[in-house]
Structure 1
Amino acid sequence: MKTLFLAWQDKRPAANGGTRRWFPIGRLQADVRAHLFHFDYTKGMKAANEVAGFRPLDAFPKLEEHYVSSELFPLFQNRVMRKEREDFPAFVERLGLNANEVDPFEILSVSGGERQTDTLEVFPKIEKRADGSFMCRFFIHGWRHVNEGARERILTLQPGEPLQVALEMNNPATGPAIQLQTVNDYYMLGWTPRYLVLDLIKSINEGPSDVKAHVVRVNPSPAPYNQRVLVELEGRFPSGIDPMTSVEFEPVLAEA
């Protein structure tokens, strides 16, 4: 099974108690052999409801139901650019993927399927290998909020250039966060996605020297700002620790 998670953001105004917090609310799985897609709400949905008043999505109106389809559900398919579009090859290239081999699941796992007008984002489950190692790719978050020198440095990043991974304990917006910095001149370029932070902290605690990151590609303007710097990060999890297995990632319905 290939697995993606669906996150929902509390975008209520701060005056109304809004937190800007993200919650994992759903799990999408692709059974490649059976050509079936499965969707379940996860227990993170309950926290989203209690904290921010989350309500079921129109596409999946029943919280305690296991959804199955022979085609990718429209909620997700509509977040993937159609191959017939003239700019599809350029879009896939920005994601570091091969236009001739890519599938919608791969596209969503890197692009996040995020739209400027809604509150949803898709992210892939980190897969731990038999030896405890893992690898993931993502676009740097928050680069527009770093200083001008760092933003200029982003434009000079080269594919393969190593980056430092640094733990930030007291980010005023998120609490713990993971920074990405240049190696020799120490520019802070931005952060890893929030969904990686808790698991990356476990990996850093296991062996800081095993956690490494490098630039895959830089997409200058007019590429969307949230697809500016693609990074690959690798590390290792300790024995007995599996990523993205906390309660918020568990399906609401008990699995058979």
Structure 2
Amino acid sequence: MTSTVVELPTRAPVVATRLLVTVRDPGTRQYRSVGFLGHENDRFSFAYLRRELARDGFRPLPGLARAVDGPLQSASLFPLFAERVISSRRPDRQLSLDALGLPADAAPMQVLARSQGQRVGDTIELLPAPAVGIGERVAFTFLTHGVRYLPESDQDRITTLVPGEPLRFRADPANEVNPRAQLVTDFGDIQLGWLPDPLIDVVEAIDEQRLSVERANGPDVGFHFRLLARLEGRVGERGLFIGSDWETA
């Protein structure tokens, strides 16, 4: 993947109204997309991808078995996802929100979009799924994966990054888990983590890319929250989440 760095006139807004729900396969260690979580007009929705329902060995997510018959809607966030919002009872809540650049009163979808909804030892991750048309500007954030596997010197570089600092993607064809993997690096080619695999196709569909630091943190926040990156650009002719692979039940 070639990342073309261009200057956009203004920073596009990041609006989290839809998230891609992914699950890590214990065999391949790769995340696969299983459905969409949405929030619009004060209603939450969840729908499975048709290809996930047709997969051999399909098992519904906890509490979302009824969605196999079509999209579910609710006035409140589904329990599976609500338990992934950083709890007000957690002593490290403010530290986590600060690491994500969020205010204390951040809405649940905002928290899920930035934290990716991960919990220690968990296999579910929520990723941005912007509903943006062809030719329109798009912006979203993502946490880099695999920081714990980087050399210590590269991990130390994350601490020195500043918001707005430009970054870039670099192909990682020797990656044992996924030969299509994309590293995130600074302009000195220091490794800062990996793009989440389910976002590879999304990123490849975006033109005029500008990748930069949204938030960088020290080791006190844990590996997962070390680097929050921001990608901006324009949706290319391929479009985002278009085609049979993204049809929902």
TM-score (norm 1): 0.81
Q: CA deviation at 1:160?
A: 2.2
Measured against aligned partners, the alpha-carbon deviations of 1:127-182 in whole angstroms (never above 9, x if no partner) come to 43674321111111122222333222222222222112223445331121222111
Paired position in structure 2 for 1:15: none
Paired position in structure 2 for 1:200: 203
Q: CA deviation at 1:187?
A: 1.0
Bigger relative CO (Cα 8 Å, ≥ 6 apart) = 2
CA RMSD across the alignment: 2.2
Matching of residue 247 in structure 1 with residue 244 in structure 2: yes
Matching of residue 165 in structure 1 with residue 169 in structure 2: yes
- Farther-moved stretch of structure 1 (162-171 vs 37-46): 162-171
- What SS does the aligned partner of 2:95 have? helix
Matching of residue 24 in structure 1 with residue 33 in structure 2: yes
Counterparts of 1:58 and 1:27, CA distance in 2: 15
Paired position in structure 2 for 1:74: 79
Counterparts of 1:82 and 1:146, CA distance in 2: 30
Give, as a single letter, the amino acid of the residue that structure 2 aligns with 1:104. Answer: P
Give, as a single letter, the amino acid of the residue that structure 2 aligns with 1:234. Answer: E
Q: Could you say if the C-alpha distance between residues 37 and 127 of structure 1 is closer, same or farther in structure 2, counting changes exceeding 3 Å?
A: closer
Q: CA deviation at 1:73?
A: 0.8
Give, as a single letter, the amino acid of the residue that structure 2 aligns with 1:214. Answer: S
Counterparts of 1:103 and 1:144, CA distance in 2: 29
Give, as a single letter, the amino acid of the residue that structure 2 aligns with 1:37. Answer: F
Give, as a single letter, the amino acid of the residue that structure 2 aligns with 1:107. Answer: V
Paired residue for 2:52, among 45, 52, 57?
45
Paired residue for 2:212, among 210, 214, 218?
214
Give, as a single letter, the amino acid of the residue that structure 2 aligns with 1:121. Answer: E
Paired residue for 1:94, among 82, 99, 103?
99
Identity %: 30
- Farther-moved stretch of structure 1 (147-156 vs 185-194): 147-156
What are the equivalent positions in structure 2 for 1:101-120 lying under 5 Å apart? 102-120=106-124
Q: CA deviation at 1:85?
A: 4.6
Q: CA deviation at 1:99?
A: 2.0
Q: How many residues are paired up?
A: 233
Counterparts of 2:136 and 2:152, CA distance in 1: 38
Paired position in structure 2 for 1:223: 221
Q: Could you say if the C-alpha distance between residues 168 and 246 of structure 1 is closer, same or farther in structure 2, counting changes exceeding 3 Å?
A: farther
Give, as a single letter, the amino acid of the residue that structure 2 aligns with 1:23. Answer: R
Would the aligned equivalents of 2:113 and 2:128 in 1 still touch at CA under 8 Å? yes
Counterparts of 2:210 and 2:40, CA distance in 1: 31
Paired position in structure 1 for 2:43: 36
Counterparts of 1:235 and 1:90, CA distance in 2: 30
Would the aligned equivalents of 2:205 and 2:239 in 1 still touch at CA under 8 Å? no
Q: Could you say which structure has the larger radius of gyration?
A: 1
Counterparts of 1:86 and 1:169, CA distance in 2: 41
Matching of residue 8 in structure 1 with residue 23 in structure 2: yes
Would the aligned equivalents of 2:95 and 2:221 in 1 still touch at CA under 8 Å? no
Q: CA deviation at 1:246?
A: 3.7
- What SS does the aligned partner of 1:175 have? coil
Give, as a single letter, the amino acid of the residue that structure 1 aligns with 2:234. Answer: R
Paired residue for 1:235, among 229, 233, 245?
233
Counterparts of 1:58 and 1:181, CA distance in 2: 36
Counterparts of 1:120 and 1:192, CA distance in 2: 16
Unaligned runs of 5+ in 1: 12-17
Counterparts of 2:69 and 2:19, CA distance in 1: 19
Would the aligned equivalents of 2:17 and 2:130 in 1 still touch at CA under 8 Å? no
- What SS does the aligned partner of 2:94 have? helix
